[in-house]
Amino acid sequence: MTTETPGPARESAHPLLRPGARIFVAGHRGLVGSALVRRLTADGHEVITRGRDELDLREAAPTEAFLREARPDAVVLAAAKVGGIMANSTRPVEFLEDNLRIQLSVIAGAHAAGVQRLLFLGSSCIYPKHAPQPIREDALLTGPLEPTNEAYALAKIAGIVQIQSYRRQYGAAYISAMPTNLYGPGDNFDLETSHVLPALIRRFHEAKLDGAHEVTLWGSGSPRREFLHVDDLAAACVRLLETYDGDEPVNVGCGEDLTIRELAETVRDVTEYQGSVVWDTSKPDGTPRKLLDVSRLSSLGFKPQIALRDGIARTYAWWLGSRTSRS
């Protein structure tokens, strides 16, 4: 990999996504997919979706057949097997194989069906555990990965290479984006499989209801993380689909981070939990720091709009409302 400073993102001379386009959002019920559906619909595009009960994206033949029949102008590949440290550590086979099968099926199927535009969404965990901070896109494959999510990361790296290969061999206008840690409405609040922010919201909320005097959290609280509201990610995806046509992946984040301890204090404040926090240092911290260099995305004129505390408050309110609607 080159160590030269990457130049500005290559913006296409003409929009690559026409107004009112037909767009297949793969994974539309997930955190990212649902945000994309909201944004694309609001922008006047025709969104196509298929539930898992209708189409198993791990299966190549039916996926290609669906894409040939639907004939979308573009595909956004947001479908993935995702989870937190515990899920990644205990079920690496699923995180590797399910994601590889989804990516191979959708990307190859889109090409076979003549889809002109595709955006593959990866993850910031593709970068080495000890990559220089903030992490530039050219840090990819320059060092060992974080062991706790290595299987998932390798699958996503394969997706990036697949996108680049279709561009180089077939001239496809396919691109990839690497989001930072995401949160927002539609997030997973299952304590066994969720990521850190929704898990904190649920832990503090339930501790408040139970009258618990303390909440014990994994690790030391010292790792630093960057968080982006999923509606900001959706806006960035639209910007990339409309303008970007480069071989290199594009980091999507806010360019700022905070410690997990600071995040926990913010969530505790939002949920109004009055007890104390205890850190269990016998549990793993994961990557020490993961802050993305977003200069490539910024050069396309994109800037996130949702501040972290406000986004956490919105997410907490959404979760409370979703629990009420199910009861």
- At 2, which helix (H) or strand (E)? none
User: Which residues on neighbouring strands pair with residue 74, listed in sequence order?
Assistant: 23, 117
Number of residues assigned to the chain: 327
CA–CA gap between residue 148 and residue 145 (Å, rounded): 9
CA–CA gap between residue 307 and residue 216 (Å, rounded): 27
Measured from the Cβ of residue 107, the count of other Cβ atoms closer than 10 Å reads 23
Q: Which positions ≥6 away from 64 have C-beta within 8 Å?
A: 105, 108, 109, 112, 113
Contact between residue 187 and residue 259 where contact means Cβ atoms under 8 Å apart:
no
Tell me whether residue 183 is one of the annotated catalytic residues. Answer: no
What amino acid is encoded at 285 in this protein? D
What amino acid is encoded at 216 in this protein? T
CA distances from 12 to 17, 146, 305 (A): 11, 35, 24
Tokens coding 102: 């989804």
> Which residue from 85, 114, 94 is spatially nearest to 24, judged by alpha carbons?
114
CA distances from 234 to 40, 116, 216, 230 (A): 8, 20, 33, 6
Catalytic residue among 127, 152, 174, 244: 152
Catalytic residues, by residue number, are 152
